Chain A
Amino acid sequence: MSGCSDNVSGCLGSMSKVIIPARIVANESRGGYYSLKVCLGAAEGELKLKPGQFIELGLGQSDLVLRRPFSVFQAKGCELEILYQVVGEGTRRLRDMSMGTELSVMGPLGNCWPIPDESEAAGQRVLLLAGGIGAAPLAMLAEELLARDVRVKLILAARGRDWLCEYEWFQRLLPSDGLMVATDDGSVGVAGMITGPLDLVLQRDPSYDCAYICGPEPMMAACARRCNEEGLASWVSMERLMACGVGACLSCVAPTTKGLQRVCADGPVFAAKEVMWDEARASRVR
């Protein structure tokens, strides 16, 4: 690996964390997912996020005692967009919320994807591997990489057509040879798991500079193993159940070669080779 900085903590603690009231300005379905746009209360100051960081969204429901962690899909000025999947009570209530509802955003949280320095970025080639809603935190990364003239190839994978996260958006962003698709049911692109097209890409040309991976944990583990076999450095964004979201409670730890690491504060981004995937199974969310 030449360019992608090995130092993930380079962006840690660079921006102070804030809690900002946020008003819903759009909340609509996007295939199998939903898109939520909120407008951040301006007086509180700006929320500057780096690709890979996340927020804890306060839903204002007194019987749900915790905020909900979400990656940020887009952040423009005072507007912030997240993509979400309805999986339980919190996201169900979120889906039913109307325009104007007041929420609370806490962030920016966690570290970020390591990005090659401006001086050496141009001409580098990277792989982005997205499973399902895992594409969300890769969107701002892709934009940032393109802005630095990095050549990006994304493999977007999901169960089926409706779960290809922001397919059109990525089609618009990337050149046609920069996007491959895999669906479990074969409704779009290659039929089967993401490792199919990944193997193909790596066989044809293993000389990428690094890979960024986000999706279900088994998918990340499988992709990381393939990358590792080809000597390709890779980064993953982990998920754990979180109570505080800021590194205080030790709910969210994952086993790594550096010991137990807090996914909310030391992560969510980790060097894939540091994650102890087998040991990590026991503390997986699902």
Chain B
Amino acid sequence: MRREPVGCDSSVNMAVTVGNLRMQNPLTVASGTFAAGREYADFVAIAGLGALTTKGVSAKPWTGNPGKRMYETASGLLNSIGLQNPGVEVFCADSLPWLAEHAPGLPVVVNVVGHSAREYVDVIERLEDEAGVSAYELNISCPNLDAGGMAFGTSAEAAAAMTAAARAATKRPLLVKLSPNVTDITELARAVEAAGADGLSLINTLLGLAIDVSTRRFVFERRVAGLSGPAVKPVALRMVWEVARAVDVPVIGMGGVSCGEDVVEFLLAGASAVAFGTANFANPRVFVEALAWIEDYCRAQDVRDVNELVGAVREVRETSGYAKG
């Protein structure tokens, strides 16, 4: 699409705030798909993001899962990475200085993981005095762990307790990332909100399974794995819409988002910000292209402030100019 030069009257406010997290635009990346930005710096100016969300960071180094870790499915992929990461000390020594040098001013949201409440809090306490961190995203929803991860995110009591423990450890904006692998995601959302979360991000991956028929074996050693990509988008959008109506805190939407149009859909459903995950793999420049598309969309729709779109989905039967005819 051809871009018009941005004049005074055609400029669209793209800045949003999620809790106390100020973002120059509503776009971020989904944890684990963008590392801490460095690997993508050749392709795209990462400072153009609204915020950068890091890969899960644990108190001690984690080796991740054995066996195959990825399997492509129709319009999606299953992953079983198991949160391999070098731990918070290496994160502080390597990733934060790199980000400070190459993307100063870019808000950094650290995705926090652990096997126990203590381990989550240890990560936050270690990071609390690091200037380069803007917010935390508690990952209580990773399906690729036996202990921790999703185990905390599928019971409202456990999720609330974890949130409260993290809340007590930080003054920074605290986001909690929810699992879609529950009967009623709004129950979890309300529990976490009541325990002090400043915002919610959703969805993490959907629990899936793959079998190799030639060997009759499970593809993954842990058997189940996490599904992401366009295949999950309608499920994610439905959950974002449900949660956004159920809570007062802002929601960061994700799950299969692949273009500007998808972003707008999530905004209309009630998300205040939106993350690109699996889509980065095929196109690391996707957020830049989406940003341009969204600005054009706003101009075409006579929207001066992107925040006007948040939750602005219209009812099916709302009378419109067309319906009257």
Chain A positions within 8 Å of B, measured between CB atoms, are 16-19, 58, 62-67, 106, 241-253, 260, 265, 282-283
Count of interface residues, chain B, beta-carbon cutoff 8 Å: 36
| A65 B42 Cβ-Cβ under 8 A | no
B49-103 CB contacts (< 8 Å) to partner A: 55, 63-64, 66-72, 74-77, 79, 81, 84
| A283 B281 Cβ-Cβ under 8 A | no
- B221 / chain A contacts, CB cutoff of 8 Å: 282
- A245 / chain B contacts, CB cutoff of 8 Å: 281
Compute how far the CA of A282 lies from the CA of B69 in the bound complex, rounded to whole angstroms.
10
| A260 B64 Cβ-Cβ under 8 A | yes
| A260 B39 Cβ-Cβ under 8 A | no
| B69 A253 Cβ-Cβ under 8 A | yes
Compute how far the CA of A248 lies from the CA of B79 in the bound complex, rounded to whole angstroms.
13
- 5 interchain residue pairs of minimum CB distance: A251-B70, A248-B35, A248-B39, A17-B42, A16-B42
CB nearest neighbor in A for B36: A248
Q: Residue B148 at the A interface, CB < 8 A?
A: no
Q: Residue B43 at the A interface, CB < 8 A?
A: yes
| A65 B77 Cβ-Cβ under 8 A | yes
Compute how far the CA of A244 lies from the CA of B63 in the bound complex, rounded to whole angstroms.
19
Check A19/B285 contact, CB under 8 A, given A65-B76, A243-B79, A244-B280.
yes
Compute how far the CA of A56 lies from the CA of B229 in the bound complex, rounded to whole angstroms.
18
Q: Residue B300 at the A interface, CB < 8 A?
A: no
- B68 / chain A contacts, CB cutoff of 8 Å: 241, 282-283
Partner of B40, one of A62, A248, A251: A248
Q: Residue B26 at the A interface, CB < 8 A?
A: no
Partner of A18, one of B43, B64, B230: B43
| B280 A251 Cβ-Cβ under 8 A | no
Q: How far is the CB of A200 from chain B (nearest CB, A)?
A: 34
Q: How far is the CB of B27 from chain A (nearest CB, A)?
A: 17
| B77 A243 Cβ-Cβ under 8 A | yes
| A282 B67 Cβ-Cβ under 8 A | yes
- B173 / chain A contacts, CB cutoff of 8 Å: none
Check A63/B34 contact, CB under 8 A, given A18-B42, A19-B285, A253-B84.
no
Known: A241-B71, A251-B79. 11 other contacts (CB 8 A): A19-B283, A65-B76, A67-B282, A244-B33, A244-B39, A246-B39, A247-B39, A249-B33, A253-B64, A253-B84, A282-B68
